[in-house]
Amino acid sequence: MRIIICVKEVLDPDAVDNYVLHGKLEIGDDGKTLTQTSIPRLMNAYDEQAIEAALRLRDNGLDCTIDVVCIGADPTAILRQAAAMGADEVSTVPVADGSLDGHAVAKILAAYVGAKGGADLVLCGRQASDDDQGVVPALLGELLDMPVVTIARSVELDGGSVRVTRVTPNGDEIVEATCPAIVTISNELGTPRYPTTMRTMKARKINPNQVTIDSLSLADSDVVPLVRMSKQYVSSVQGNCTFIDGDSPDAQAATLLSKLRDERII
Partner 1 sequence: MSNSLVFCSFDAGRDGLPAGAEEVLTLARKLATARGVDLDWLVIGAQPSGVEAAAAKHGVAHIDHIDDPKLAELEPDVVVAAVQQYCGQQSPALLLISQTFDSRLVAPRIAARVGAGVVMNAIDVASGDGEVKVTATAYGGDTRVEYDVAGPVVIGVVSDPLLPEAAASPSAPEARSIAVDLAGVDERIRTVQKASSDGPRLEEAQIVVAGGRGLQDAENYQLVEDLAAALGGMAGASRPIVDDGWTDSSHQVGLTGKITRPVLYVAAGISGASQHMVGCAAAKTLVAINTDGDAAIFKYAQYGIVGDCLEVLPALTKAVKGG
Ligand X SMILES: Cc1cc2nc3c(=O)[nH]c(=O)nc-3n(C[C@H](O)[C@H](O)[C@H](O)COP(=O)(O)OP(=O)(O)OC[C@H]3O[C@@H](n4cnc5c(N)ncnc54)[C@H](O)[C@@H]3O)c2cc1C
In angstroms, the CA 251 to CA 257 distance is: 10
Q: Which residues contact 142 (CB under 8 A, 6 or more apart)?
A: 106
In angstroms, the CA 92 to CA 71 distance is: 6
Among 120, 130, 156, 222, binds partner 1 (CB under 8 A): 130
Position 74 contacts partner 1 (CB under 8 A): no
In angstroms, the CA 213 to CA 216 distance is: 5
Position 186 contacts ligand X (CB under 6 A): no
Taking contact as CB under 8 A, which single stretch among the options 48-56, 199-207, 209-217, 246-254 is the one that binds partner 1? Answer: 246-254
H/E segment holding residue 187: none
H/E segment holding residue 197: helix 197-203
Q: How many CB atoms lie within 10 A of CB 180?
A: 20
Position 39 contacts partner 1 (CB under 8 A): no
- Return the number of the residue (205 or 231) whose C-beta is nearest partner 1: 231
Among 129, 150, 165, 184, binds ligand X (CB under 6 A): 129
Q: Residue 44: which of partner 1, ligand X, none does it interact with, CB under 5 to 8 A by kind?
A: none
In angstroms, the CA 163 to CA 174 distance is: 7
- Return the number of the residue (13 or 98) whose C-beta is nearest ligand X: 13
- Return the number of the residue (92 or 129) whose C-beta is nearest ligand X: 129
Position 176 contacts partner 1 (CB under 8 A): yes
- Residue number of the CB atom closest to ligand X: 129
Write out the binding residues for ligand X, residues 23-62 only, by CB under 6 A: 45
Residue type, 77: A
In angstroms, the CA 170 to CA 215 distance is: 45
User: What is the smallest separation between the CB atom of 163 and partner 1, expressed in angstroms?
Assistant: 7
Contact footprint for ligand X (CB under 6 A):
13, 45, 129
